[in-house]
Structures are given as structure tokens and as C-alpha cells.
Amino acid sequence: MEYLLHINGKWTGEALDKNPVLNPATGEIITKVPKGGRIEALQAVEAAHHAFEEWSGTTAYERAKLLKKYSNLIIDHEQELAELMTTEMGKPLSEAKGEVHYAANYIEWYSEQAKRIYGETIPTHDKNKRLQVWKKPIGVVAAITPWNFPAAMLTRKMGPALAAGCTVVIKPSKETPLTAIKLVELAEMAGFPNGVINIVTGSSKEIGEVFLTDPRVKKVTFTGSTEVGKTLMRQGADTVKKLSLELGGHAPMIILNDADLQKAVEGVTASKFRNSGQTCICGNRIYVQSAIYDQFIEVFADTVNQLRVGNGMETGIDVGPLINHAGVEKVNEHVLDAVKKGATVVVGGEQPEEKGNFYKPTIIKDANPDMLIMREETFGPVAPIQKFETIEEVVKLANDTPFGLAAYVFTENVSHGTRVIEKLDYGVVGWNDGTPSAVQAPFGGMKESGLGREGGHQGIEDFLETQYVSIGI
């Protein structure tokens, strides 16, 4: 298959310069994709703008039917999509298959939610007036997505946007454009009209600038780093662009003395090593209360020692490569800094022999807040552990960061769990649960981790305008 731009129902961009897409497990070039820029972004925005009138005029039932068909097509192409994802992103094939289902579920859930976009009737203060609230699709939506969940981060935006009656222009990450292009091809097969879904690969700077400054784009929905999110906010100021930002995290995982140890180890392992630690909600700092500190590390180390590192296309692999060499360098820097500042490596702590972009699943103990790894998002398979004594102390440590995306608490004591979680400034909390994401639940961050929520009934609100209508009768 040739991977091209999709603008107004046409596959295009053959004549443009091309960017290579690399397999992070082997370093090989998989294929090349067109290097679109300002011109192609403007064409895509024009197509989406033109298509909006007709698409927004369809009934919720018509949109629901198409979305449902689209979701089924994604499931039908599970194997192909998962292989593509593993090849360009590196995650083990079983995880990639899981993501394909998760991605399809967003489309399916919002196919149903399309039928539940309700307005309101407000009791009137005047016998000759009727007060109503109408909901309208916001308009053209630009979606910018990251590489770590190339399918789900896209459908989490497309699902509600299309269900609401918006048209979409997409810019995927340069690291993982193939999964996104394949998803657009499947949308075309489902029968979405020309211009409703468009995709442009290429220069993020040029394409992003068009998305953030063109007045025809009514909303930009972005998932990625906090740094880029802040740039987009500044760029969007002149057109007062409506923004949803799903940004970086630095998740604390708190294990209290009264935790079920096995549950805690399973939860921390799932959160920390899924996707090689490259998820925005993965545990970045692990705080274990003093009475179970040594025991937790022992059981955790036994579990982590069994994880198999390698090319995600091979069977039995738990931890694939990091996305690129810069990712490996950051992990190395965090580990070396921690060791220099007094931490001890319990498991891993280096690259395996076949170097490439791989890093061994790692546990570090006796971490402290001065270490880089306890202050910044690591985005790699390293679990630093710090000991604490009291609940008050750990809540302070957990909240001492500009990030506020996900946090985790492990305790069997309802009072302790409730008291800790009430004090945590985090948008998503897993209580005895290392994998809290669900399509039907609101996902998003507090503080510098973002604006808005994706998923759940809340997730469609960002794609709707509220119009208050006062009717004199």
C-alpha cells in the first residue's frame, strides 16, 4: 500500500518530498510518507470547511450508523492494523491488538452517544417567553496526535467529533503516520462523505500553524507533550481557538502498608512496563510505605525479572523497544543521575546486548526528590522507588509537581484510600488498579497536564457549542 495524504476524498501527495518511517526494533525504513506542509494543510482545512455544512446537517442516526460500520471495519482489520502499529511503534503485537480494540471502542461508544446530544428547556420567568439551550457541532476540528497510541489517541478524538457533526483534519506524529493513514482508509471504506475526514502528514510546525491560526478551524484537539501544548496555546490566541489538551504526566504510585502486595505488584508492573513505559499515565514515581518497603521490592523484582525484552513481532515479548534513540538517551540520563544521587539499581539499569532502541526493565530503590527521574516524565521502562512514613508526607510528595494527569493508590483500607485520593490533584486515579483508562470514563489532566476531558459523555462536550435561545411568544 502507498501511504499518502487524504484530502477531500482523494489520496494525494505523491509528488511531495518524503519522510522515512522507521521500525524502532530494527532501525529499518518501513516506507516513506509525503512531507506535507502549509499548502496541504490549507487544502485539508478548506475540504473540511466545505464538507461541514452537509455533514452537520445529517441526523444523529445517520452518523451513528456510519460510525458503527467504521468501528466494525476496524475490528475486521485488527491483525493488519496491529502489525502496522508494532512495526512503526514497537509495542508488542498483543498490546497492539488490545489498542486496536480500544480504538474501535471509542468509535462504537460515540456512535451510540451521537443519539444522546440533548439540549435543555429552562423554566421561564416570563409567561411570554420560552427559554431553551441548543447544542450545535463546533465546526472544523483539527486533531494532532502522538506516537505512543497511534490508533486510540486518534479515535478518541474522531469518535466524538464525528458523532457531534464536526468534520476533521488530522496530523499524526511523524514517527507513526501509517496506523493513522490506515484508519482513514477504513473510514473511507465505511462511506464517510468526501472532506469529512482528511489527513496530512509532514511538517508539524507548518501544519500546526495553519490549524492554530486559520479561522475556519474552530477547535484544535491535541495529545502530546506539555511543551508543545503550551506552544499551541500561544499560537491559538489570536483566533481564540478552542483547545483540548491531553498533555504529559508524571504519575505517582502510592503503596500503603495495608495494600494487598500481590495486587500492588501486578498494578505497578502493568502501569509501568506497558508500552515500555511510554504512556502518559504510566507510573513514573513509586512511593512505598516503610513497613512493606523491602518486601514490595523483593516481589516486584521477581516479577520484573521475568519480563522479556525484544522485537514486539516475536511471540512472548513483554517489553518492546523505545520509540527512538533520543528516548533511550533520556532513560539513560535519568538512571545515571539517580545512581549518582544515591539510588541503587535492583534490576536492569542498562541496555541489553543487542543495543538498538531497547532498554532493560529496571527497578531503582532509595530514590529521592532531587533526582531527575522523580521530577520529570521518563517515558521508559524504569521504576524508581522511594520510601515514605506517613500519609501526609506522601500526599505532599505526590502533589509536588506541575503535572496532574494520573495517580495510583494501593490500599485495602477504604478510609485511607479515600483520604489520600481526596487530596490528590490528579484527573485520573487508579485505586488498586494499574490500568484505569476506559472509553466510557472521562480522561484528562489537572494543572499542566491539560485542558478538557476525552471519553465518556463528557468527551463530546468539547465538540459542541452551547446556544441559548430565548423565544418570545
CB under 8 A, 24+ apart: contacts of 456-462: 457/113, 457/116, 459/110, 459/156, 459/159, 459/160, 460/110, 460/113, 460/117, 460/160, 460/163, 460/164, 462/138, 462/160, 462/219, 462/221, 462/242, 462/244
- Name the residue nearer to ligand NAP (CB basis): 201 or 269: 201
Return the C-alpha cell found at 31.
Answer: 516506507
Restricted to residues 428-457, the positions that interact with ligand NAP (CB under 6 A) are: 445, 450
Count of alpha carbons within 13 angstroms of residue 356, beta-carbon side? 18
Q: Which residue has the cell 511503534?
A: 89
End-to-end CA distance of the chain: 60
- Name the residue nearer to ligand NAP (CB basis): 66 or 154: 154
The span from the CA of 76 to the CA of 190, in Å, is: 12
- Write down the least CB distance from residue 205 to ligand NAP, Å: 5
Restricted to residues 249-268, the positions that interact with ligand NAP (CB under 6 A) are: 249
- Write down the least CB distance from residue 106 to ligand NAP, Å: 12
The span from the CA of 195 to the CA of 51, in Å, is: 5
- Name the residue nearer to ligand NAP (CB basis): 301 or 446: 446
Q: Which residue has the cell 478524538?
A: 157
- Name the residue nearer to ligand NAP (CB basis): 71 or 145: 145
Output Rg (C-alpha) for the chain, integer angstroms. Answer: 23
266 is catalytic: no
Return the C-alpha cell found at 119.
Answer: 439540549
> Which of 95, 246, 266, 448 does the annotation list as catalytic?
246
- Name the residue nearer to ligand NAP (CB basis): 249 or 348: 249
**Which of residues 101, 136, 174, 216 is near ligand NAP by CB under 6 A?**
174
CA distances from 397 to 111, 159, 292, 386 (A): 41, 37, 18, 10
Count of alpha carbons within 13 angstroms of residue 366, beta-carbon side? 8
Restricted to residues 336-375, the positions that interact with ligand NAP (CB under 6 A) are: none
Restricted to residues 180-219, the positions that interact with ligand NAP (CB under 6 A) are: 204-205, 208
Q: Is residue 111 a contact residue for ligand NAP (CB under 6 A)?
A: no
Count CB atoms within 10 A of the CB of residue 473: 8
> Which of 95, 166, 266, 280 does the annotation list as catalytic?
280
Q: Give me the phi and psi of 470, to 5 degrees please.
A: -105, 115
280 is catalytic: yes
Restricted to residues 132-171, the positions that interact with ligand NAP (CB under 6 A) are: 144-149, 153, 171
- Write down the least CB distance from residue 223 to ligand NAP, Å: 5
**Which of residues 139, 224, 283, 452 is near ligand NAP by CB under 6 A?**
224
- Write down the least CB distance from residue 145 to ligand NAP, Å: 6
Active-site amino acid positions? 246, 280
List interacting residues with ligand NAP (CB under 6 A). 144-149, 153, 171-175, 204-205, 208, 223-225, 228, 231, 246-249, 280, 377, 405, 445, 450
